[in-house]
Structure 1
Amino acid sequence: MADAQDPRPTPPEQPDDSECCRSGCDPCIFDLYQQELEEYRLKLKEWEARQAG
């Protein structure tokens, strides 16, 4: 069970296709989402290790 002092990380919200302006922004909203998703996965892995220990 998750500890209130160490809550499970929450995944980033995936942007809707309509949120992209299609003008070639750098970074694109989907690039930022991928970065956030990678950070979330790392934090989740660390959290799971703490919960198992």
Structure 2
Amino acid sequence: MPPANDPRPVEPEKPLPGDCCDGGCNPCVLDTYAEAMEHYRERLAAWQARHPEAG
């Protein structure tokens, strides 16, 4: 049984179109977002494995 306090992970907020300045920043906000999405997908998959009833 999953822990009682095990909330579903929250998807990171997508950057707005104007958030990237096209200045070649390292890291770019779009790179940071892509990395955050990767981690989110991993956490979501683990959460779904603990909560199969959630679909």
State the identity %. 46
Q: Give the partner amino acid of 2:13.
A: E
Distance in 1 (CA, whole Å) between partners of 2:21 and 2:51 is 41
Hey, which bits of structure 1, 4+ residues long, moved more than 2 A? none
- TM-score normalised over the length of structure 1: 0.87
Aligned residue pairs, count: 51
1:8 aligned residue = 8
Give the C-alpha shift of residue 4 in structure 1: 5.5
Cα RMSD (Å): 1.7
- Gap regions ≥5 residues in structure 2: none
In the alignment, structure 1 segments of 5+ residues that lack a partner are none
